[in-house]
Amino acid sequence: MLRRGSRGALAPKVGAPMDAEPPEGGLAAVNLLTVAEVAAAMRVSKMTVYRLVHSGELPALRVGKSFRVSQDAVNEYLRKSFYQAG
């Protein structure tokens, strides 16, 4: 899906929408992390986090020109990505 950017150019829609319902406390109870915080928690580069967001593998919220990722989304991504050796 394409959308118009702030300068009128067509740009791909970024990230997947957050499907989960907000917690009972409302959106204020959601713990949002910056891309740098997610990268540090996952021990990967910020570019890797951006790739995950742009591919839709890691749901993110766009705030101005930056992204925020919920702690729950990070935990779910890591849970799904866990690899059992042997």
Report if residue 17 sits inside a domain.
no
CA distance 14 to 63: 12
Token match 């959308």: residue?
Answer: 3
CA distance 29 to 27: 5
Report if residue 67 sits inside a domain.
yes
Residue 54 belongs to domain spanning: 31-86
> How do residues 18-32 score in pLDDT, each as one tens digit?
555 655 666 677 899
Report if residue 39 sits inside a domain.
yes
Q: What is the pTM of this model?
A: 0.68
Report if residue 9 sits inside a domain.
no
Give pLDDT < 70 ranges for the chain. 1-27
Number of structural domains (the chain) is 1
For the chain, what percent of residues have pLDDT higher than 70? 69
